[in-house]
Amino acid sequence: MTGPEKTSPVTIFVDGTSGISVTGTLDGTTLPELNRSVTDFFELADTAQIEVLTLDLSTVSACDRAVCAAVRHAQSVCADRAVALRVVPSDAVRQVMAPRG
């Protein structure tokens, strides 16, 4: 007998023509999945046709500082491929990424 199926608190959709959409919770436990998705995007997409990767975080409902690491990873992967990065943040993402003063 098996236990209940464990579901991820995040859903990541990779559209090979425009970018990556993230819904749910983005934290240290879900960060590796998002980082893999960013890398996979460039392996699956026709990168010769892509000038901008959109990282749509507008439906991230909760996050911690891992979101900063996710954006840095995406920036690095995009820079290696001469592709611009566009981040669409949710209010939760905006709050975490806001400069602290």
Question: Which pTM was predicted?
Answer: 0.86
Return the ∠ at Cα 17 (arms to 67 and 46), rounded to 5°: 105
In the chain, what percentage of residues exceed pLDDT 90? 63
Q: Bigger pLDDT: 100 or 62?
A: 62
Q: Please give the mean pLDDT across all residues of the chain.
A: 87
Amino acid letter, 3: G
Q: Are 25 and 63 in contact (CB under 8 A)?
A: yes
Strand partners, 59: 23
Give residue-wise pLDDT tens across range 9-49. Answer: 889 898 877 899 999 999 999 999 999 999 988 887 666 77
